[in-house]
Amino acid sequence: MSQSGKNPAGCRQTWREFGLCALLLLVVLVVLFRDGFPADRTVFANDGPLGLISSAWARVPAAFTGVWQDTNWLGNGGGIAQPNINGLLETLVSPLVYSKIFALFTIFFLGLGAWFCFKQWKFPAPVCVLGGLAAALNGDFFANSCWGVGTQQICFGLNFVALGLLADESSSKRWVRVVLAGFAVGLGVSEGFDNGALFSLVVAAYVI
């Protein structure tokens, strides 16, 4: 059978493995964060409490062009909201919904990024799924998201994606993978800032 004849079956298998990992992650995370779903509750976030993100100055898309943080007294310049994955999530949902799902979403994203990386490195399917779960539930990553700095986990997930894209050195379109990996690393910097910058050096060292 030609290689092209094998691709559809392989693609279906990959999607099944992806779906299994995503489903397991969702089940575990929904159980862990279930107390934040009722209408009169939300998930704790030290660095982004509901009251703060509900402020007019913090609302997107207006914050993409500049922020004047006037919660206390006259206020001060707060830079701009970043047009990245977190910014997209803020745009799509209300502050209340965002506060309920932010930690769950960032951990879920990290887990899928890790799964993708291990899959591209051609580990067996069980290893990829368990690796995704292990990364998502890692005590450091999980605790940071629960503390309210989940953008770090988005950053780490993007770096997993970058390393996965760089895994295949024999591809005839490797340059496309390298460009996409660079995009993922750059997007990670916009999410994780100093953490993203440090991780970009690690990915660069791997490439070199």
Residue 4 has pLDDT above 60, yes or no: no
What average pLDDT does the segment 52-66 reach? 94
Where do the structural domains in the chain lie, given as residue ranges? 3-46+88-207
Residue 166 has pLDDT above 90, yes or no: yes
Kindly indicate the confidence band of residue 7, based on its pLDDT and cuts at 50, 70 and 90: confident
- The percent of residues in the chain predicted with pLDDT above 70, rounded, is 97
Kindly indicate the confidence band of residue 1, based on its pLDDT and cuts at 50, 70 and 90: very low
Q: DSSP characters for the chain? A: --HHHHHHHHHHHHHHHHHHHHHHHHHHHHHHTGGG-STT-----SSS-HHHHTSGGG-TTGGGG--EE-SSTT-EE-----SSHHHHHHHHS-HHHHHHHHHHHHHHHHHHHHHHHHHHTT--HHHHHHHHHHHHT-HHHHHHHHHT-THHHHHHHHHHHHHHHTS-SS-TTHHHHHHHHHHHHHHHHHHHTHHHHHHHHHHHHHH-
The mean pLDDT value of the chain amounts to: 94
- Which range has the worst mean pLDDT, 81-90, 110-119, 169-178, 186-195? 169-178
